[in-house]
Amino acid sequence: MIQEQILEAEIAKLDQQIHELGMSRANKRYELANLLCPFRVGDILVRKGQRAQAPAISPGYFSGYKMEGAYYKKDGNLGIRTGELWRDDWRKA
């Protein structure tokens, strides 16, 4: 009985360490994504006549980062829907 309590306490301590390491890893991945991305949050981007704004940069699966963006509508207002902005040939406006 006492041995069970000791083991459960050790397991709880290890679970807490795993959680803390996971949070630290996630924060470092976001830092890396922001370093690798040539754009910053809020930049207005242009590609083939389209304009978009990058509201979020996050870690990517196949590359170091991915950008979420909202496209500007024809009337010049920023759209409310967001989607992934592929990295092909965007440049700052």
Contact between residue 34 and residue 80 where contact means Cβ atoms under 8 Å apart: no
Q: Model pTM?
A: 0.73
Q: Residue 89 and residue 79: Cα distance in Å, rounded? A: 21
Q: Residue 17 and residue 12: Cα distance in Å, rounded? A: 9
As a residue count, the chain comes to 93
Cα-flanking dihedrals φ and ψ of residue 64, to 5°?
Answer: -75, -20
Query: What digits encode the pLDDT tens for the residues 31-74?
Result: 999 999 999 999 999 988 889 998 899 998 877 899 999 999 98
Q: Residue 76 and residue 91: Cα distance in Å, rounded? A: 18
